[in-house]
Amino acid sequence: MTTDAHGKVALVTGANKGIGKAIAKGLARKGFTVFLGARDSEKGIAAAAELKAEGDVRFVQLEVTHLTSVLSAKQLIESETGRLDVLVNNAGIGAAPGSRFNTPEEEIAENMRAVYETNVFAVVRVTNAFLPLLLQSDAGRIVNVTSKRGSLGEEGAWVGRPNMTYSSSKTALNAITVHYARSLAETHVKVNGAAPGHVATDFNGFRGTRTPEHGAEVAIRLAQLDIDGPTGAVFEDEHQLCW
């Protein structure tokens, strides 16, 4: 069962391309007013224009690592719609700019810090900025876009080249997801992780085997969970991943 999207508002971070854009498209098709977050205004405006036919899709400038940008985005959404029902924390990077997937022995701490800034710390910044609005919704939903690589107990966490920095950032994101879910357990807000699978995007040089639309499906489902739905869990498709 899913909630009725009519009149509801969603924000997707990092939505100018890839999985985020597909999530924005899918939520617009369901009837949400979607704020398409992008740090680059030109790219964000172009992506929102491309999705115009899907529904009410509006660009919002959003650099998730900058507090001023996050607060401006909140102000814009509040003034335009006065509400937020769904927050999808999708923006993410695989490695620090100029770096690559490193083994633990190769990695340097500064690279880790850069990846954690986007994949972990920014999620806390964005979530806390928008939480007051989400708490006013009768079905606030937070979806953190994670990766099976973050689930230490999953076989799929260890495929391909080892990447301690990216994988551990998603492990931290999963942990944060559980902490928020527990802390918000007595409210209407549910918090879950969505692992999209191996998706063909810029992120992996388009080597993924899934389309962005396929990868987006799990986040779109979790964004619409009804009151009996889970909280504090991570899913790939319908399958709940272990930690």
Provide the annotated active-site residues: 166, 170
Give the C-alpha separation, 156 to 9, whole Å: 34
168 and 209 Cβ atoms separated by less than 8 Å: no
Nearer to ligand NAP, 188 or 198 (CB): 198
CB of 157 to ligand NAP, least distance (A): 11
Nearer to ligand NAP, 26 or 92 (CB): 92
Helix or strand (DSSP H, E) at 33: strand 33-38
CB of 23 to ligand NAP, least distance (A): 9
Helix or strand (DSSP H, E) at 58: strand 57-61
* Total Cβ atoms within 10 A of residue 138: 9
Nearer to ligand NAP, 31 or 162 (CB): 162
CB of 211 to ligand NAP, least distance (A): 11
By CB under 6 A, name the binding residues for ligand NAP.
13-14, 16-20, 39-40, 43, 62-65, 90-93, 118, 145, 147, 196, 198-199, 201-204, 208
CB of 144 to ligand NAP, least distance (A): 9
What lies within 8 Å, CB to CB, of 146 at 6+ separation is 170, 173, 174, 177, 193, 194, 195, 234
Nearer to ligand NAP, 18 or 140 (CB): 18
Q: Which two tokens stand for residue 1?
A: 């069962």
